[in-house]
Structure 1
Amino acid sequence: MRSRLALLAAAVSVLILTAFLVPLALLVRTVAADRATVRATADAQSLAPVVGTADPDTIRLTVEQLAADSGRPVSVFLPDGTVLGAPVPRTPAVTLAARGQSLTAESDGGREVVIAVQGRSDGTRVIRTVVPRSELTAGVTRAWLVLALLGVLLVLVGLVVADRLARTLVRPITELSRVSHRLANAELDARVAPAGPAELREVAGALNHLAGRIQVLLRDEREQVADLSHRLRTPLTALRLEAESLRDPADAARLTSAVDGLERAVTGLIRQARWRSSAPDGTAGSDAAAVVGERVAFWSVLAEDTGRTVTLDLANGPLPVGVAADELAAAVDALLGNVFAHTPDGTPFTVRLAPDAGQVVLTVADSGPGMPTGAVLRGASQAGSTGLGLDIADRAARTSGGRLELRAGPGCGAVVLLRLGPPRP
């Protein structure tokens, strides 16, 4: 924008200067030619008294002296055809002047000045002089150079002024863009200092107001989520007491483990809502092998109850990834929970975890009916669930710099790939 404004100022300056300097240059040339013509006419008229009264010898001496002083050829044509001074043939202008009319005319050598001297009994005598073209244009080239330099100087000054004015516009716009990008990256404390024209200051104030409003809304939302999550602690405590009161140790341990997992999820939700920035920084890390192994072991009990065969292909750990253990566990639970929620009992599934090109890839594949269109959209579900499972997994992947991929299984079924990036330094 700054360069375009400077280019616009330069174009306008050049057009204005051209409109003024071109006529001025032509005027300078015309004035120089007229000045030279006036001088030659005055010199020729100074001969008129001598030519009208003196004898030919006196006229010849006077003409030669004037020619030497002025540097221009001077001739006097007598009625009998005698030419005194510079020997030149009669020209149409001289013939016309012999009839009593003084005039100037253009010729090959320059501008011809002829003056008719009347009042003698022998006829009209004609004084002729020629202004050479070098004298007609004397000083014009230098004047044009001065005008050209003046025009260039004015254009440069205009560019400097336009650049300063453009900077006062571009700098606030650049600051607005920078703050908007910071806000897009969830730096909600970013603000812009109003500067520039009144319109830009108004936009800056509106952006600051919008940022403050977003910050308030997010804070209220996090508080509500945290309060709601905190309310779940009481029923969780009751569930723990009920689980510990079971007589069968195996059932008690299984239910207690489930309650522990649910409590960890609630605790993580509270911590995320209250203290964690809304922008994931990816600095928290975990061992994907340990987390996936633990969650698959948890879901294997339910798989056994529902007649599902679980195939686990877990690479040797540790496999560090750039996502917190709680978030990764929630993502794994979401993917495995989808298998149980959207496939009939007895449907086998496979869980595979392996490194791949600097990332760790978690693959969950089943032999069920497949993934419906739009399943990855947040809140979209065709099986009566919340529709947030794949979104939770996708956010966990993007937190680490990875992504979530959905594929169709061979023949039938669905394949979900969760690509997890390494921890950031």
Structure 2
Amino acid sequence: MGNSSRKEAQDEGEEKETKGDKGEEEKTAKKGEVEVMEDEELPFGVHKLLESGDRVLDLSYYKFRRLPRQVLNLEYLEKLYVCGNRLRNVPKGIMRLQALRTLGLDFNKLVDVPLPVCQLTNLTCLYLGSNRLISLPPEVRNLQNLRCLWVESNYFQRFPKQLYDLPNLRSLQIGDNRLRMLPSDLWRMESLRGLWLYGNRFQEFPRVLLKMEQLEILDMDRNRISEFPNLHHLSALRLFSYDHNPVKEPPRVREEVLIVGEGAEEVLQARGRRKEAKEQAEKDAEDAAVVAAAAASPVIHGILKKLRMNSALNLAAAKEKVTNESVASTTPTGDENGPQNNDRCAFFEEAGLGYDDGRLEYEREELISEGEGYEGDEGAEFEYERAEMDYEYEGYE
């Protein structure tokens, strides 16, 4: 995960280059010039980038010794990358770029963090890796919105406590430095979620990290730690890397934590087997529940079938009773307007069908009229109308 080999190669090249740069630095210091390219010709394609109007400007690996002055007028910029150049400072005019959210200055020759950078208060990501930094200035506290800071591959021997005052810092990359210990009050960085400490000089696991239960990523690769404590209580931890440490066995972590290091593969395989066994047991339990439900279903179906049969029989009996009553009511026994009609109406009321005796009588008369075939009989229409009138009279009674 580190780049210490690249850092060593860079240092060797820088030593050779220092002599050639020394005369130019002295000349610049005498004139009191800020490091802004004014009259020098810009590399091919840079003019087009500067005039594009894009909010993201990438001027990486153009071998700039000074930041082009045209950049300082692009106040709309949100992301600026000038990585892999030869910058030793940044002009004050960069403070005009208050819209900047991301600034990449890694792989340059910065000995100190430029103070104008500390005035870009809207920065959320600042990349200063692979420079020559040994500390951070107090002014870095101005970066209250900073969420991500990378200072890997520098020369920090002590942890910069100025970072305690950055309440929103979530990701700190400080690998490939010269740290031997961490401050005992590092737990104050409560917003920190990712911490990269690889390639330092830790001989023991820093105990203060056991108090930082909010950490999600912890990288301790390439240190000199021979034993790790139990990390099971770090409930938020998702990735722990301890590769290239002289450990005898992997650290104890929660089941959901991905570990990278010596012996981690065997642990992950065993974890995978346990997970498969658990899933198979759950599947078997579900299948058993389905079989049990299927075995019980005939009884349930039998009960439902019996209920349906009883309902059908009751309905058939009710229909038969209605039919019998209806036939009986149409048989002339005594007075046609007598109690028989009243009994039939009372039955319909009791059955919950509503009192609609007149309509049934009307349908019965119509059916009889159609069945007996009165075609051509002039008296049929009159008889039909008379029956309807009689029915309405009965219904009113």
Under TM normalisation by the shorter chain, which class is it?
A: under 0.3
- Greater RCO (Cα-Cα under 8 Å, separation 6 or more): 1
With normalisation by structure 2, the TM-score equals: 0.23
Whose helix fraction is larger, Structure 1's or Structure 2's?
A: 1
Give the greater-gyration-radius structure (CA): 1
Q: TM-score, normalised by structure 1?
A: 0.21
More strand by share: 1
